[in-house]
C-alpha cells in the first residue's frame, strides 16, 4: 500500500481517490504559495499611502519670468485597493500670473500598475537627491514639490538651470502625454 511521510506524519494513500485528493491539495498549496510570494515581491513603496492621504507632485514653471507661470499637478491617492493618479495643468496670462486668472486646461486620470508605481518611487528618489543640490540663485526658476496631505512629507527642488526633465518624464510615463 503506498504511503507518504511528511514531517514525521505518515499519510496513507489507499486508493486512486485519495491519491487524486492529495495531488490536488499539493497543487493548490503550491499555487497559493506562489501567489503569496508574488504579492510579497510587488511592494512599491507607495503601499503606505492610505485612503485618507494623497501624494501631491507639483511642477511650478516660470513662463512669466520672475512673476511665475503655470502649474502642473499630479495627485496620487488610494481608492479601495487601487492607486490612482490625476494630472492637471493650468494656464496663466503673463506678465501677471495671479491666481485669479488660472484656468485648468488639461485634466487626465490613470490607474497605477506596478511599473508606474515604481516610476513614481524613482522620481521621488531623484527629487530627494536633487533637493540637496545648490545651483545658484535666480528670480525666474522652475521648482518641483512633493508633499503628502497628511503632512508627512515636504520636499522642494529649485531648478535654476531649468534643465531637469524628471517631472516631464514622470508625466509621460504615467499619462502618456508630453
What pLDDT score does 7 carry? 46
Examine residue 95 and say whether the peptide bond preceding it is cis (omega within 30 degrees of 0).
yes
* Residue 42 pLDDT: 54
pLDDT for 9 equals 47
**DSSP notation for 40-103:** HHT--S-TT--TT-EEEEEEE--TTGGG---EEEEEEEEETTEEEEEEEEEE--SS---GGG-E
Residue whose cell numbers read 522652475 = 142
**Which residue in 94, 154, 99, 101 sits closest to 124, CA to CA?**
154
Q: Chain-centre distance of CA 47, in angstroms?
A: 9
167, 173 Cβ separation under 8 angstroms: no
- Those residues with Cβ within 8 angstroms of residue 114's Cβ, 6 or more apart along the chain or in another chain: 42, 44
132 CB neighbour count, 10 Å cutoff: 7
> Angle, nearest 10°, between helix axes 114-130 and 166-175?
170
* Separation of alpha carbons 157 and 115, rounded Å: 24
Model pTM?
0.72
Q: What is the DSSP letter of 26?
A: H
pLDDT per residue, tens digit, the chain (178 aa), is 455 454 444 455 555 555 555 545 544 445 555 545 444 545 567 888 888 899 999 999 988 877 778 899 999 999 988 999 999 999 887 876 666 677 889 999 999 999 999 999 999 999 999 998 866 667 778 899 999 998 888 999 998 888 899 999 999 999 998 7
Helix (H, G, I), strand (E, B) or coil at 35: helix
Amino acid at each position: 500500500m503506498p504511503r507518504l511521510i511528511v514531517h514525521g506524519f505518515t499519510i496513507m494513500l489507499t486508493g486512486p481517490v485519495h491519491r487524486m485528493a492529495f495531488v490536488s491539495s499539493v497543487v493548490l498549496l503550491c499555487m497559493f504559495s506562489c501567489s503569496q510570494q508574488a504579492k510579497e515581491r510587488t511592494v512599491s513603496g507607495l503601499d503606505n499611502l492610505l485612503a485618507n492621504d494623497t501624494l501631491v507632485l507639483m511642477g511650478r514653471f516660470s513662463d512669466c519670468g520672475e512673476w511665475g507661470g503655470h502649474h502642473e499637478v499630479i495627485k496620487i491617492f488610494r481608492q479601495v485597493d487601487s492607486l490612482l493618479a490625476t494630472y492637471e495643468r493650468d494656464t496663466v496670462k503673463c506678465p501677471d500670473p495671479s491666481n485669479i486668472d488660472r484656468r485648468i486646461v488639461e485634466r487626465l486620470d490613470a490607474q497605477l500598475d506596478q511599473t508606474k508605481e515604481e516610476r513614481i518611487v524613482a522620481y521621488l528618489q531623484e527629487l530627494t537627491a536633487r533637493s540637496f543640490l545648490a545651483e545658484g540663485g535666480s528670480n525666474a526658476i522652475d521648482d518641483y514639490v512633493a508633499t503628502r496631505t497628511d503632512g508627512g512629507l515636504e520636499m522642494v527642488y529649485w531648478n535654476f538651470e531649468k534643465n531637469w526633465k524628471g517631472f516631464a518624464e514622470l508625466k509621460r510615463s504615467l499619462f502618456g502625454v508630453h
